Amino acid sequence: MTLPRYRQLAAALRADITEGRYGVGDHLPPEMELCQIYSASRHTVRDALRLLREAGLVERRRGAGTTVIAANSTPTFVQALGGAESLTQYAREAKLRVRSANPRALTLAEAERLKAQPGEQWLVIEGLRLASAGSGAEPVAVSTLFVPLEFAGIVGALEGWDGAIHQLIARDFGVQTRRIEQEIAAETMDAATAKTLRTEKGSAGLRTLRRYFDERDQLVLATDSTHPGGRFVYAMTYRLDG
């Protein structure tokens, strides 16, 4: 099957970058010039450049054109979309860096997402998931964690914890998670989220909401995360019987 024209163009430009025709810090030709060089429409050129942006090879700024920022694509973070054990794997591979942790009342929008009451006091933890623990690690997701105040003591252990957050609650407070609800939605990223994830405002993202319930069906944890669409994949394998 023949690749769409914009994907062919993206592959050609990717090869030019990888082979050094355009080095890191160089500018790609303007859109109209690329149209002439490759006999392509402006729409095709823009779609090709979008793929390069999502791959982490270039960045575009108004008035500054398209600049090469990497010679090779950013590795894609893959998470298995399976049972609860896949969440533990994700927690171990995508390290959490806490940026803030404050008790406050839930907003109306947050309460609706959590299926909680507006104005309830929760510990709200803002964090960044990284592909590794190093200072230059690639961001995988921005995450907001909602923790009941009775479990607020987990904050001090978060940075060094090598597991899922609900397991930390179980260890420190003896409250076991018995049910997890997960919702995944495609969204465009706002300016602040895009900047943190080193991508462009309005680019595609995957927003994942998870709600954790104990044996009494009480909400003991919720996580709301946004991943850059070009660098994150959920993977699932189906096995057919017969």
pLDDT single digits (tens) 40-80: 999 999 988 988 887 778 888 877 789 988 877 655 545 55
Domains 5-68 and 77-235 share a fold: no
Q: Where are the domains of the chain?
A: 5-68, 77-235
**Residues of the chain below pLDDT 50:** 1, 77, 135
Per-residue confidence (pLDDT) for residue 118, from 0 to 100: 86
Give the integer Cα–Cα distance in Å for 73 and 55.
5
Class for domain 77-235, per CATH?
alpha beta
Q: How many CB atoms lie within 10 A of CB 31?
A: 15
Per-residue confidence (pLDDT) for residue 235, from 0 to 100: 61
Per-residue confidence (pLDDT) for residue 83, from 0 to 100: 56
Give the integer Cα–Cα distance in Å for 180 and 83.
10
Residue whose entry in the numeric block shows the structure tokens 């163009």: 9
pLDDT digits (tens, 9 = 90+) for 97-114: 899 999 999 999 999 999
Structure token pair of residue 159: 């940075």
Class for domain 5-68, per CATH?
mainly alpha
Give the integer Cα–Cα distance in Å for 179 and 54.
34
What are the helix (H) ranges across 97-219? 108-114, 155-158, 165-173, 191-196
C-alpha to C-alpha distances, 102 to 144, 172, 230, nearest whole angstrom: 11, 20, 31
| DSSP 3-state percent helix, strand, coil across the chain (nearest 5) | 35, 35, 35
Give the integer Cα–Cα distance in Å for 118 and 111.
5
Per-residue confidence (pLDDT) for residue 133, from 0 to 100: 52
Residue whose entry in the numeric block shows the structure tokens 């909602």: 146
Q: CA angle, 125 as apex, 180 and 112 as ends, to 5°?
A: 55
186, 205 Cβ separation under 8 angstroms:
yes
Q: Which of 60, 73, 68 is nearest to 31 (CA)?
A: 60
Per-residue confidence (pLDDT) for residue 88, from 0 to 100: 56
Strands 95-105 and 121-130: antiparallel
